[in-house]
Amino acid sequence: MNWHSVRAIFGHEMDRFFRTVWQSLASPVLSTVLYFVVFGAAIGGRIQSVEGVAYGAFIVPGLMMLTVLQQSVSNASFGIYFPKFSGTIYEYLVAPTGWIEVTLGFVGAAATKAVMIALVILLTSFWFNGVHIAHPFWMFAFLFLTAIGFSLLGFIIGLWAKSFEQLQIVPMMVITPLVFLGGAFYSASMLPPFWEAVAKLNPVLYLISGFRWAFFDLADVPVGLSLVAVALMIVVCLVAIRWIFLTGWRLRE
C-alpha cells in the first residue's frame, strides 16, 4: 500500500474543498434551513409527531442522509471526472500506485467532505429542534458507512461519465427520487400496506431507517438489514471499481 499516494490525492481533493469552504457549506446549510422552515414549520404544524417524536426532529436524520448521499456522489464523481476531462488521469495510471490507493484518496476525500457538511447540518438542526441521539456510536457508523458507499458509487459515475451532463443524470434522476421515496420525511409505517411493501424495495429506505434508529430507536426495517444493505453496497462498488481499473474501461478512451 502506497500511503504517500493516498495522502497526496486526499490532500489535493481536500485543498480544493477548503478553497471554497464557505460556498461548499453555505448551499447545503441554506437548503436545510429551508427544509426545516417548510417541512418543520408548515407541515409540522399539521403533523405534530411521528411515533412519539416531534415531526421537526423526526426529519433531521432524513435531511442529513439526503445531504450525505448528494454530496458524496457529487464530490466523488467530479473529483475523478475532472482528471479524465483534463487528460491528467494518465498520470494516475502510470504512477507507482494501484487502484486501491487512487480509490482511497478520492473516495476518502469525498466521504470526509460529506460527513463534515452533515455534521454542520446536525448542529444547525439544534437551532430548530431538540434532537436527541440515542446511539451516538451507531449514528457515526451509519453516517461514515453511507458516505463511503455513495462516494464509491459517485466514483464509478465519474469513471463512467463522458460529459458534465452525464455526471448529473444519476444523482438527479435516480438518487434524489429514491431519497424522497425512502422515508426521508415520513415513516414507511404511515403508508398503506401495499405502498409500504413497495417502499421496502427501495435500498435507500434501509439506510435512512438505520440512521433514524440511531437517533430515536425507531426503524422501518430491522437494523441488521440496514447494516447488511450498506455493507453490500460497499462490496459491490469495490468489485466494480477493481474491474474498471483492471480492464481500463472508460479510463483509456
What are the φ/ψ torsions at residue 50 (nearest 5 degrees)? -125, 115
Question: Is 121 inside a domain boundary?
Answer: yes
Quote the cell numbers at residue 96: 507507482
Instruction: Confirm whether 75 is domain-assigned.
Output: yes
Split into its structural domains, the chain has a count of 1
Q: Is residue 253 part of a domain?
A: no
pLDDT in tens, 183-238: 888 888 888 888 888 889 999 999 999 999 999 999 999 999 999 999 999 999 99
Query: Helix, strand, or coil here: 31?
Result: helix
**Which domain covers residue 43, as residue numbers?**
3-247
Q: Which three cell numbers stand for residue 66?
A: 439526503
Alpha-carbon distance of 90 to 44, in angstroms, equals 52
Rounded-to-integer distance, Cα 130 and Cα 127, Å: 8
- Report the C-alpha gap between 215 and 131 in whole angstroms: 8
Label residue 30 exposed, middle or buried (CB < 10 Å: 0-12, 13-18, 19+).
exposed
Full pLDDT tens readout for the chain, 253 residues? 889 999 999 999 999 888 877 777 777 778 777 877 777 666 666 677 788 888 888 889 998 998 899 899 999 999 999 998 888 888 888 888 889 999 999 999 999 999 999 998 898 888 877 788 999 999 999 999 999 999 999 999 999 998 888 888 888 888 888 888 888 888 888 888 888 888 899 999 999 999 999 999 999 999 999 999 999 999 999 999 999 999 988 887 6
Does 252 fall in a domain? no
Does residue 176 lie within any of the structural domains? yes
